[in-house]
Chain A
Amino acid sequence: SQQGEEDPQALSIQEGENATMNCSYKTSINNLQWYRQNSGRGLVHLILIRSNEREKHSGRLRVTLDTSKKSSSLLITASRAADTASYFCATDAAQKLVFGQGTRLTINP
């Protein structure tokens, strides 16, 4: 069953702008991960944040985690056309990853 709910379902912005995607989940987790998927392709692991961490950075990516609200956000700064993809959060609990619904991000040149 799906645990993560993401919003927005779709996001379209201009190149250079920042993109923020949110993920909410229901149960306790060990960690939360974000993945990218280009249309019809496999998953690319972006970043992992542990349950005892609040914020993590990787290049143009910034992830926050609020375990009290059971939510996470992914911020992509200075977006590029190549960032166009679907982004999924996945919660790691009970030794398996469960994916959210995903956000389809479109970067307009």
Chain B
Amino acid sequence: GAVVSQHPSWVICKSGTSVKIECRSLDFQATTMFWYRQFPKQSLMLMATSNEGSKATYEQGVEKDKFLINHASLTLSTLTVTSAHPEDSSFYICSARTSGRVRSYNEQFFGPGTRLTVL
């Protein structure tokens, strides 16, 4: 099956610093990648959708200047949390969607998540 990796799996940083999270599709080309955020005991909230080579589309209420998304290639998307604060501490999950398979729907595969703790 298709594999999506995330790096790092966890990160602890000081308030005010920026943190970059990578999401890679290891054995397929992802036409679209998604970034979700999950607070403890809550559901996944879609933050943004990114297509390779174009600007990300952010969901309502998500600050695009705070959460920078770059989808530079068909296998890599990055999320940078700029000037992180304790309230940004969360579990960030990426997913990648492929249209390369012969299916009646586009499959979406999830990464294992990155736990960010901002002190």
Segment among A14-22, A54-62, A68-76, A96-104 that sits at the interface with chain B: A96-104
Chain B: interface secondary structure?
strand
- The complex places the Cα of A31 from the Cα of B103 at a distance, in Å, of 13
Pair B34/A42 contact, Cβ less than 8 Å: no
Interface size (A, Cβ < 8 Å)? 22
Cα separation A40 to B117 with both chains bound (whole Å): 13
In this assembly, does A26 line the interface, its C-beta being within 8 Å of a C-beta of chain B? no
B6-64 CB contacts (< 8 Å) to partner A = 32, 34, 36, 41-46, 49, 59-60
Asked whether, in the complex, the Cβ of A100 is within 8 Å of the Cβ of B43, the reply is yes
Q: In the bound complex, do residue A96 and residue B104 qualify as a contact, i.e. CB atoms below 8 Å apart? A: no
CA distance A102 to B15 in the complex (A): 31
- Residue in contact with A96 in the complex, picked from B45, B46, B112, CB distance below 8 Å: B46
Contact B45 A30 (CB under 8 A): no
Query: Contact at A99–B115, with CB atoms within 8 Å?
Result: no
Which of under 10, 10 to 19, 20 to 34, or 35 or more describes the interface residues of B?
A: 20 to 34
Task: List residues of chain B with CB within 8 A of the CB of A46.
Answer: none
> In chain A between 7 and 62, which residues have their CB closer than 8 angstroms to a CB of chain B?
30-31, 40-43, 45, 48, 50
Contact, CB under 8 Å: B112 / A41? yes
Residue contact B115 to A42, C-beta cutoff 8 Å:
no
Instruction: Give residues in A with beta carbon < 8 Å to B.
Output: 1-2, 30-31, 40-43, 45, 48, 50, 88, 92, 95-102, 104
Query: Interface residues, chain B, CB within 8 Å of chain A?
Result: 32, 34, 36, 41-46, 49, 59-60, 91, 93, 95, 97, 104-106, 108, 110-113, 115
List 8 contacting pairs A-B, 8 Å CB cutoff, sorted by A. A42-B112, A92-B108, A95-B49, A97-B108, A99-B36, A99-B43, A99-B45, A101-B43
